[in-house]
Chains A and B, each alone.
Chain A
């Protein structure tokens, strides 16, 4: 699978395409490039599927059912199509995929900088410099945990963990836990920590509520079937917002219909509003909890109605189900003492972001977001894969990254073909509206 002999024989080289990252997205791109005989290398700072090995909590399972775990040239044929893969299982799958497709992965090769030099990209690594005409950034969307500034105001004796540090309830010190955030990550943490007999408060801002199963099938089956997951980045009303949307409150687990605030509340988790401030050793929660729950309930109802509309009068599908609105305390807690007893540990499940600190090409906006048009980055020959809502709503899932890899490598190959026909001095200009690059005069 790895090419260590190759790597040590040639510490650096020139190729057509450099893929940065050997996760699902980078390997999918590699497979498609190889199929079109495009020379490339995949640079991986650790081993194949590195983040899935090292930076995930123990109980993590994919949010998508196994049959949805698809890559170019790979379909799930195991015995549990409706189950959910653990990260260890996914690592084995990706290792096998890399090996079978003979992906030219250079492991333990950390990218230190990417620069544009004339019409080429220079990619400096800890094992020498690579040069290529095109680069695919497939280094992941979750390299860093997003932690709000108020984390600095926490008293010193409060233990702080991010979603990248958290492993299991066993690592927690004695005392209560405040989980900040109610996306898939925060909900799963709150659920398993409270099941371990620990007092948990969860701070809830805007969130996306949905049942695991609906009318006899996985909710992601329906969302795929009725076209919601295929919704394109050019169609969504507010792309920025769609790209920032927290992950749905789902868990890869078949034995319960829904993981939501009601189920957490029933098992004793205290539900608070969004964490807004730390003052005098107190955590202050927003009084907007009722509204963020109302918003999530209304959105879930719209989702389920869209599915009902799609099912129409198909009598083979089980009948429509209703889920109770989110129940909150008449006076939800607004303040909680951070005295090491009521709350000993704060876990920030407040989102992730990619790390582009090594990217020395001016393609980030003022908020540090990568500027791209459906994966075509605003620098000729540079592409990205594996970001949420990159081309469609399913881009954050593995089977969505598969579709994106097709689109992006297709565009890239056209770019390389135009490139090889042209003079060295031709400038290719990024044109956001039109697919493909246009030569500028």
Chain B
């Protein structure tokens, strides 16, 4: 065969994802996952968190390795700055989720990605967390993700990739929609 067309390869195994979709449609109970993280205070505003184990496909699962993250605050907050702020971790999660989504959707739509870069801006009025003004919320005012995408596709097709990725993104949903949060102190 002298096929000159190169197969689209974004390094995403879409067949496996579509296979999983089909299998989990037939066995919906296996689709129930539990994500976990553990955290330990290290002193000051520094916390060390780790992830490794999770539950899914009906049984306990594990990442290949344990991943460890430090969160702290910068020196202008009189902290030791041993890691990113927790709010920045939220942005890291959003960027990771949306970008993984873009790669998967592109693969499924036969679009070759050459480069995908994003910057995120998330303004916040810290009068909220400092308790200065009760009318100011603690969280972000808004979040703006700016993508720069080089792909073998039209402008509208690239816009559709990014839109579809948001539609299927867990972190986008977590941030844009309310979630009941239970914080319990074990005795």
A residues adjacent to B (C-beta < 8 A): 206, 273-274, 276-277, 279, 284, 286-288, 291-292, 294-295, 298, 301-302, 331, 366
Known: A291-B166, A331-B142. A284 touches B176 (CB 8 A): no
CA A301 to CA B163, docked complex, whole Å: 14
Q: Which residues of the other chain, A, contact B163 by a CB distance below 8 angstroms?
A: 291, 294-295, 298
Q: Which residues of the other chain, B, contact A301 by a CB distance below 8 angstroms?
A: 156
B112 within 8 A of A: no
Chain B: how many interface residues by the 8 Å CB criterion? 16
Complex A-B, nearest 3 residue pairs according to Cβ-Cβ distance, in ascending order = A287-B176, A291-B166, A277-B178
Q: Give the nearest-CB partner of B142 in chain A.
A: A331
B172 within 8 A of A: yes
Q: Give the nearest-CB partner of B177 in chain A.
A: A276
* Complex A-B: 17 CB contacts under 8 Å: A206-B167, A274-B177, A277-B178, A284-B177, A286-B177, A288-B166, A288-B173, A288-B176, A291-B166, A291-B167, A291-B172, A294-B163, A295-B160, A298-B156, A298-B159, A301-B156, A302-B156
- Contact assessment for B175 and A287 in the assembled complex, using a CB-CB cutoff below 8 Å: yes
Q: Which residues of the other chain, B, contact A291 by a CB distance below 8 angstroms?
A: 163, 166-167, 172
Q: Which residues of the other chain, B, contact A273 by a CB distance below 8 angstroms?
A: 176
Chain B, range 133-187, C-beta contacts under 8 Å to A: 141-142, 156, 159-160, 163-164, 166-167, 172-173, 175-178
Known: A294-B159, A298-B159, A301-B156. A287 touches B164 (CB 8 A): no
Q: Give the nearest-CB partner of A299 in chain B.
A: B160
> Helix, strand, loop or mixed for chain A's interface?
mixed
Minimum CB–CB distance from A51 to chain B (whole Å) comes to 32
CA A279 to CA B177, docked complex, whole Å: 12
- Contact assessment for A295 and B176 in the assembled complex, using a CB-CB cutoff below 8 Å: no
CA A288 to CA B163, docked complex, whole Å: 10
B residues adjacent to A (C-beta < 8 A): 28, 141-142, 156, 159-160, 163-164, 166-167, 172-173, 175-178
Q: Which residues of the other chain, B, contact A294 by a CB distance below 8 angstroms?
A: 159, 163
Q: Which of B28, B141, B160, B178 is in CB contact (< 8 Å) with A276?
A: B178
CA A291 to CA B143, docked complex, whole Å: 13
Q: Give the nearest-CB partner of B141 in chain A.
A: A331
Q: Which residues of the other chain, A, contact B177 by a CB distance below 8 angstroms?
A: 274, 276-277, 284, 286-288
Q: Give the nearest-CB partner of A238 in chain B.
A: B21
CA A402 to CA B141, docked complex, whole Å: 53
Q: Give the nearest-CB partner of A332 in chain B.
A: B142
Q: Which residues of the other chain, B, contact A274 by a CB distance below 8 angstroms?
A: 177
Minimum CB–CB distance from A436 to chain B (whole Å) comes to 26
Q: Which residues of the other chain, A, contact B178 by a CB distance below 8 angstroms?
A: 276-277, 279, 284
Minimum CB–CB distance from B12 to chain A (whole Å) comes to 18
Q: Which residues of the other chain, A, contact B28 by a CB distance below 8 angstroms?
A: 366
Q: Which of B142, B156, B176 is in CB contact (< 8 Å) with A286?
A: B176
Q: Give the nearest-CB partner of A292 in chain B.
A: B167
Minimum CB–CB distance from B91 to chain A (whole Å) comes to 15
Q: Which residues of the other chain, A, contact B156 by a CB distance below 8 angstroms?
A: 298, 301-302
Q: Give the nearest-CB partner of B28 in chain A.
A: A366
Minimum CB–CB distance from A297 to chain B (whole Å) comes to 9
